[in-house]
Amino acid sequence: MGATVPELDQRVVTGLLTTRLAHTRGRRLVLVHGKYASDGPEEFTVPVGDGGRRKVRVTHTTSVLGLTDAWQSHLATEGADLLVVTTDVHGDRIGLDLLGEMVRSQIIAVDEADIVKQLFGAADLDPRMRRDPWLWLPGALIVAEPVGGWPQHGAVLTLDAAMRALVGVRLGLEGVFEGGASVDVDALLTWSRMPGGPERFAALPEAEQQGITDWLAQSAGEAAPVLLRLALRGRGTEATALGVLASVMTGKSASADAAVALGTVFGMVGSRPSELRTYARAVEGTLTRWIGEAAGRGPQSVDARQRVLDVLLQADELAGSAHLTAALAGNPFLPSGFQARLRRLAEALTEGPQVAQAAWDHVQEHHLAAVFYPRRVELARMAVRLRHWLDAPEPVVSSIDQAVHTHVADWGWVDRALAQLWVGDAEAEAALVEAYRTVHDAARRRRAVLDEAFAAELGPWAQRASAAQPGGVLLIEDVLRTVALPLAAKRPPLVLVLDGMSSAVAAQLGEELTGVGRWRELSGGGRRAAAIATIPSVTLLSRATLLCGRPVSGGQSVEKEGFAAFWQGNGHVAALFHKSEIAGPAGHLLDPRLVAAIASDAVVGVVLNTIEESLDHGQRSSLADWAVNRVKYLPELLNSARGQGRPVVLVSDHGHVLDRQGPAVGPVAAEGVESARWRTGTTAGEGEVVLHGPRVLENGGRVTVPWSEEVRYTPHRAGYHGGAALAEMTVPVLVLAPSADLAPVGWVELPRESVQPPWWEANTALAPVTTPAPAPSTKPVRKTPSAKPKARPQEGELFTDDAVPVPVAKAAPAVPAPRTLGRQIVDTKIYEQQGKFVRKTPDRKVVAAVIDALEASGGTLSLAAVAAAAVASGGRTHTRPEGFVTVLTRLLNIEGYEVVSLIDSRTRVRLNRDTLREQFELPKGSA
């Protein structure tokens, strides 16, 4: 025979016997061409067709004499069944005595293909498995058979099915191929990080390595060979990180020097630039999916976060060692790239708001921004917002009413951003810290000017203001009558008093509550309501005055009696709950009595002390960020109110100022100190003002209070109230409802865009808020027989209210309106055709106005803002704006393309301007 024979192991012998035992005809000697593995077991059992098993003994010999001795020894062994002898002896040398005992009377040559068919239960094999370059595959499949056997196919075992099975077992990727799925780069990159995964591949025979590489290159793409070469070189655990570095081969960072440095890191002579670029893109796609998983919830997201951080920190280390950090500064995945973007932002903050806005856009576009650095990104955003505000015209104080309303609508948002910058970024580099401080200090100086101007107006106003003549401003004692009482006509409200809530806190709470679409903000005046606190703005005075509906001083008992009396006087039963009456017993979030009250028809008031208590004991960081779930019991109370269909009045008794100086700066020495921010002395010092008049409810109507936030009279706390600063005296009032149907007659829903100041969001157009026209009178018109028929109007005449024609001057020729994007769309033939298939199509000018509003806002608006834009252009008021948007989608989403869509849990509308222009075939360059 030849010089070499195939080496056989237990799996091959088992497979061979399984295909041959049906033809033994009682014979018990099997001669096989080959050599049995020296480490294989000498005895084992094999399955037979009837479900039983046969005992087998295997030996190897190289001579005819050895064959005879082995057979005689086998016959002499008690209980012996089947003898398999592997040998390289020629068949023509075997005597007749052995031939008569041998299965098929010949030496059996191993046909690996037949064994594979049997192992997979297949009727036939893919013909390619019998030809180059796949001749190695049947033997590999036999050797790699798992303990539980290969999956059964029944028909033809295709090459891809065989390779999926082999790769699954060899690389440990069995689960990837469930349901016939193909392996992808995601799975391979995950595999490369598995302990022992790359080592398993490196231990395979060279032919098998090459075959697996070739197949994966076809099924998983060109990135697979690069990854497998890294695994062979012992760098499998760095494969994903190295893929991030490979991005220097693409985009603006590509250069000859970077390519040389990258080649040094990879150490792979055989990798072409095109391969590395493909590999980089594949790794970026995988990282994007991993980051998406990290953004979710649950244990899987935690694992994904750690996996992403491990890879990217490793990539940063590799980039540093290869001197590639600078070349990778623009990489959207690396943490060092995120820091580079923040460095650019620090520079941009000194270059103007538009440059700063572009730099922030670049920061938030980093793939780690939203999931891994949300607070840092938001802080950067606050700095840019303040730059926009500082670039706006210098604000002025013209009256108390104007100042209070502007503070709720604008300057309180400044305070919100200032509080964030005051806390700062603990991870920021020195240049960024300095940039934040510069913006913060500039905005604080401008805010201090406004506080001083407000105090100057407050003095004269306090002298003459009264309940009968408040000077146009909403007094805190009138909040229940002006805001809450009209709501009670439809459904008794839940009045939530957040003690110490400033306009900055209200801005954040309102944004969060209306942003998820569960609450609608309502208004009776087309803007968020704002009132002015008592003087001084302390809880004992201002809260009691708010809840009693009249100026009064007192504690909880006074508040309870006054609240019930106010509502009783207006025809409603009411109950007020304080801190000790809110918490429920074990197993209950809220006190059952409070829950029952909310479920009843009574007006319910609840006082929440979380913010006030934080002013006493809170840390610096806790006073800069007020999410809804940070106000104790607020989520539970809101949920209860929503469940009962109640509107909610979210109101403060007064605001507060923060102590930004810290305990190192002591209190100001002054006479007559009564509280942290008011005293009885009559001489005003620096940063103070003397107030007297009917609005001053302490010390006989005369007090001295600081307008400067830097003045306090008592030891350090986190924050204070009682002074004359805008942040203390302004009382924000938010009206929230689970449905716009709860709005009283004449009230409107406030779009988010109309509540936040224009500088808060870049490219956001303010949608007009339109107060609906009064409902037509239902009083019957009395007809008189003598009434003469009214003359029809002649040309050039208009009717007055009493229908008497009045001559008017002839109008000048109208100037054609500019052809906006919306106008162009509704004038197309395509739009006309679409309208034929949509019921109740809105007027063309309404659709055009909504398109233009969306375009002006940068492509997104809240549902309420879209509805407001429609109403402003002559459309009807929609109680369900979602229905109006559904009609828009039918008109504009041609052939399923998403021109208009609902996003953010269906609370905002997005317009894809490019798709809109393409679908309606607008020429390039048009508006």
DSSP per position, 681-699: -SS--TTEEEEESTTB-SG
Amino acid at 425: D
Other C-beta atoms lying within 10 Å of the C-beta of residue 654:
29
B/e letters for 421-443, b = 16+ CB within 10 Å, e = fewer, are bbbbbeebeeebeebbeebbeeb
**What are the φ and ψ backbone dihedral angles of 793, each rounded to 5 degrees?**
-65, 140
Q: Is the peptide bond before 536 cis (omega within 30 degrees of 0)?
A: yes
Take residue 856 and report the two structure tokens written for it.
């002006």
- pLDDT beneath 70, residues of the chain: 1-4, 19-25, 49-51, 175-182, 250-261, 267-271, 621, 763-818, 875-879, 904-905, 924-927
**Burial of 586: CB neighbours in 10 Å, binned 0-12, 13-18, 19+:** exposed
User: Given the DSSP bridges, would you call strands 702-706 and 688-692 parallel, antiparallel or unpaired?
Assistant: antiparallel
- Give the residue from 219, 215, 283, 225 showing the smallest Cα distance to 249: 283
Q: What is the pLDDT of residue 793?
A: 36
CA-to-CA distance for 863 and 908, rounded, in angstroms?
5
CA-to-CA distance for 128 and 247, rounded, in angstroms?
38
Take residue 845 and report the two structure tokens written for it.
């000018």
Q: What is the pLDDT of residue 705?
A: 97
Q: Which residue has the tokens 């062994």?
A: 77
Q: Let me know how long the chain is.
A: 927
- Give the residue from 478, 477, 534 showing the smallest Cα distance to 693: 534
Cα 886 to chain centroid distance, Å, stands at 24
Other C-beta atoms lying within 10 Å of the C-beta of residue 362:
18
CA-to-CA distance for 140 and 138, rounded, in angstroms?
5
Q: What is the pLDDT of residue 803?
A: 35
Cα 41 to chain centroid distance, Å, stands at 59
DSSP per position, 75-141: HHSTT--EEEEEE---GGGS-HHHHTTBGGGSPEEP-HHHHHHHHHT-SEE-GGGGSTTSTHHHHHH
Other C-beta atoms lying within 10 Å of the C-beta of residue 545:
25
Q: What is the pLDDT of residue 22?
A: 62
**Burial of 420: CB neighbours in 10 Å, binned 0-12, 13-18, 19+:** buried
Q: What is the pLDDT of residue 112?
A: 82
CA-to-CA distance for 283 and 270, rounded, in angstroms?
19
User: Given the DSSP bridges, would you call strands 35-36 and 7-8 parallel, antiparallel or unpaired?
Assistant: parallel
Contact present, 689 and 703 (Cβ < 8 Å) = no
Residue-wise pLDDT for 381-395, tens only, equals 999 999 999 999 999
Contact present, 882 and 902 (Cβ < 8 Å) = yes
Q: What is the pLDDT of residue 713?
A: 95
Q: Which residues pair with 877 in a beta bridge?
A: none
pTM: 0.76
Q: Which residues pair with 736 in a beta bridge?
A: 521, 648
Q: What is the pLDDT of residue 776?
A: 36
